[in-house]
Amino acid sequence: MIGILGGGQLGRMLAMAASRLGYHCHIFAPEADPPAAEVAAKFTRADYTDSAAMEKFARDCAVVTYEFENIPFDPVAQIAKFVPVRPGTEALRISQDRLFEKQFCNDRGIATAPWRKVGSMADLIAAIDALGLPLVLKTCRMGYDGKGQVKVTAREDAASAFAALKSDHLVAEGFVSFKRELSVVLARGLDGRIASWGPVENIHRNHILWRTYAPAVIDPPLAAEAEKIAASLAAGLDYVGTLAVELFDCGDRILVNEMAPRVHNSGHWTMDAAVTSQFEQHIRAICGLSLGSADRLCDAVMENLIGDEIEAWPALLAEPNAKLHLYGKAEARPGRKMGHVTRLYPSGRAHNPKS
């Protein structure tokens, strides 16, 4: 029995991959009818802070993993005392806080955008003086898909930006000039072996991932540097499972944007265009199995279906090179990921990421 904390689409696809390998999954989530519960053997509905429910759930499992990083840390650390939690609590602790994450990267000699800690208006003014304008002010915790951040373009906007985020635990990031946004998704096994799917290019709309192009068309030395960075972070965390590292290609160097200690949206293409998907690889890793091949079978373009874009599903099914994945969510809302489609192309075919 594999325990999965979180009941969203990532948990759903993890449970489906586990089932193919003969495992059962137990989903723990606070929602009433989460997508993952539809395809799992067991479901516990309770809050993550319900210590009794969490312990009962954990004792039912041989290993526990999580599908997203914004889970309260203390309950996860508590159950880790009597059941293996993989990727592990250290990866969760660092990835939950942007300051911890940036410091972790910098301590390993890995470059990020320039940043400053902000806990007051005086700190923000000092950050503006140090980093220049524009800059992005972000909450250190709970931000995703563009939430919890404000762009500051003028000094007179500083007070309103600071007030809007309603926190004294912030980070200011200086703007960097980059050519494209990349990510590297890799898996690391219990034995330390790493299998990487290589860099992909990501295009966002309204701060939400729209398309992923696999592979990214970049110079081989930069591709190798991106993979080296991701592997270094995984080793530094003694990571077990699938890890995503989001990066900026600045032309002459690679900068880390952030990490996600889990399967990742930009790795969904691997379900159809790689020998082993990111979901199967994660299950293999946390269960102590050998990792599969991460070789790409063909080129791919993954596109998220957001909100009412899901209504196009009949037309997508009619496309001969398209693979449709729906998440079983009952209600389509603006900004909500309802599914994705991956279009497959012969290897070596050039794509225009801006089209």
Residue 6 annotated as binding?
A: no
Domain-located, residue 108:
no
Q: Is 262 annotated as a binding residue?
A: no
Residues 272, 126: one domain? no
Q: Where are the alpha helices (DSSP H) in the chain?
A: 9-20, 51-59, 73-79, 89-95, 98-107, 121-131, 158-165, 220-236, 270-273, 278-286, 313-318
pLDDT band at 351 (very low <50, low <70, confident <90, very high): low
Q: What is the pLDDT of residues 87-140, one digit of tens each?
A: 999 999 999 999 999 999 999 999 999 999 999 999 999 999 999 999 999 999
CATH of the domain at 11: 3.40.50.20
Was 181 annotated as part of a binding site?
Answer: yes
Domains contained in the chain, number = 3
Q: What is the mean pLDDT of residues 305-323?
A: 97
CATH number at residue 269: 3.30.470.20
Confidence (pLDDT) at 207: 86
At 355, the pLDDT band (50, 70, 90 cuts) reads: very low
Torsion of Cα atoms, 192 then 255 then 225 then 199, to 10°: 80
More confident residue, 20 or 148: 20
3-class SS of residue 118 = strand
Q: Is residue 97 part of a domain?
A: no
Question: Does the annotation list 174 as a binding residue?
Answer: yes
Domain termination site, one of 46, 64, 85: 85
Q: What is the CATH number of the domain that holds 162?
A: 3.30.1490.20
257 is in an annotated binding site: yes
Residues 163 and 189 grouped into a single domain? no
**Residue environment code for 333-344, b if the CB has 16+ CB neighbours within 10 A, otherwise e:** eeeebbbbbbbb
Q: Is 147 annotated to bind ligand?
A: yes
Ordered DSSP codes for 196-222: EEEEEEEEEETTEEEEEEES----HHH
Can you tell me the mean pLDDT for 329-346?
Answer: 96
Residue 308 included in any domain: yes
Displacement of CA 286 from its chain's centroid (Å): 17
Note whether 237 and 321 are same-domain residues.
Answer: yes
pLDDT band of 349, cuts 50, 70, 90: low
Assigned domain for 297 exists: yes
- Ligand-binding site membership of 279 (annotated): no
- 218/141 same-domain check: no
Interacting residues of 87 by C-beta distance below 8 A, sequence separation 6+: 65, 66, 237, 239, 240, 241, 243, 261, 262, 286
**Once rounded to an integer, what is the mean pLDDT over residues 234-238?**
97
Is the dihedral angle over the CA atoms 26, 96, 331, 266 positive or is it negative? negative
For the segment 276-303, the average pLDDT, to the nearest whole number, is 98
Residue 145 confidence (pLDDT): 57
11 annotated ligand binder: no
Q: What is the pLDDT of residue 55?
A: 96
- Considering the domain architecture, whether residues 188 and 297 belong to the same structural domain is answered as yes
Give the integer Cα–Cα distance in Å for 197 and 295. 7
Which pLDDT tens digit goes with each residue over 237-282?
Answer: 999 999 999 999 999 899 999 999 999 999 999 999 999 999 999 9
Q: What pLDDT shows up at residue 352?
A: 58
Mean pLDDT computed over 162-171 = 92
- Tell me, yes or no, whether 249 and 266 share the same domain: yes
Q: Which of 85, 104, 125 is the last residue of a domain?
A: 85
- Would the pLDDT of 72 be above 80? yes
If asked whether residues 333 and 232 sit together in one domain, one would say yes
Q: How confident is the model at residue 142 (pLDDT cuts 50, 70, 90)?
A: confident
Judgement on whether residues 193 and 167 belong to the same structural domain of the protein = no
Q: What percent of the chain has pLDDT over 90?
A: 92
Residue 150 assigned to a binding site: no
166 is in an annotated binding site: no
Report yes or no on 91 lying in a domain. Answer: no
Residue 159: domain span: 114-174
Residue 318: per-residue pLDDT: 97
Does 230 lie in the same domain as 334?
A: yes
- Report whether pLDDT(180) > 60: yes
- Percent of the chain at pLDDT above 70? 97
- Residue 347 confidence (pLDDT): 84
Of 66, 85, 104, the residue at which a domain comes to its end is: 85
Report yes or no on 330 lying in a domain. yes
* Residue 64 placed within a domain: yes
Residues 184 and 158 in one domain: no
| Pairing mode, strands 25-29 and 2-5 | parallel
Would 323 be classed as within a structural domain? yes
| In a shared domain, residues 185 and 162 | no
19 and 123 share a domain? no
Query: Is 143 within any annotated ligand binding site?
Result: yes
